[in-house]
Amino acid sequence: MALERLLKIVEEIYDQMKRGEIPEIKLVTRKKQNIEFDEKSEVWIYGEKKSVRSAKTLRGAYQLLRMVYVIGFLKDLLNQNRSSTLRELYYISENWGIAKFNEQLESDRLIEDLEILTGLQRESFNVRPEEDGATVFGDLKIRERTRRGERIIHCQDDVGEAGYQIPTNVDSLEFLECNADFVIAIETGGMRDRLVENGFDEDYNAIIVHLKGQPARSTRRLLRRLNVELGLPVVVFTDGDPWSYRIYASVAYGSIKSAHLSEYLATPSALFIGIRPSDILKYELPSDKLSDEDVKALNSLLSDPRFNNDFWRKEINLQLEIGKKSEQQALAKYGLNFVTDVYLPERLTELGVLKR
Nearest to 55 by CA among 100, 99, 96, 25: 25
Cβ-Cβ contacts under 8 Å for 105 (sequence gap 6 or more): none
Q: State how far the Cα of 268 lies from the Cα of 135, in Å rounded to an integer.
A: 21
Q: State the DSSP code for 309.
A: S
Q: What's the number of CA atoms in the CB half-sphere (13 Å) around residue 118?
A: 24
Of residues 62, 91, 264, 334, which has the active-site annotation? 91
Active site residue 91: yes
Residues 115 and 260 sit within 8 Å (Cβ to Cβ): yes
From residue 258, give the alpha-carbon distance in Å to each of 45, 133, 216, 217, 247: 9, 20, 11, 9, 13
Q: Please give the order of strands across the beta sheet that includes 206-210.
A: 164-165, 135-137, 206-210, 182-186, 234-237, 271-272
Q: Which residues of 304-338 are buried (b: 16+ CB within 10 A; e: fewer)?
A: bebbeeeebeebbeebeeeebbbbbbbbbeeeeee
Spatial contact of 261 and 254, defined as CB atoms under 8 Å apart? yes
Report, as residue numbers or ranges, the catalytic residues: 91
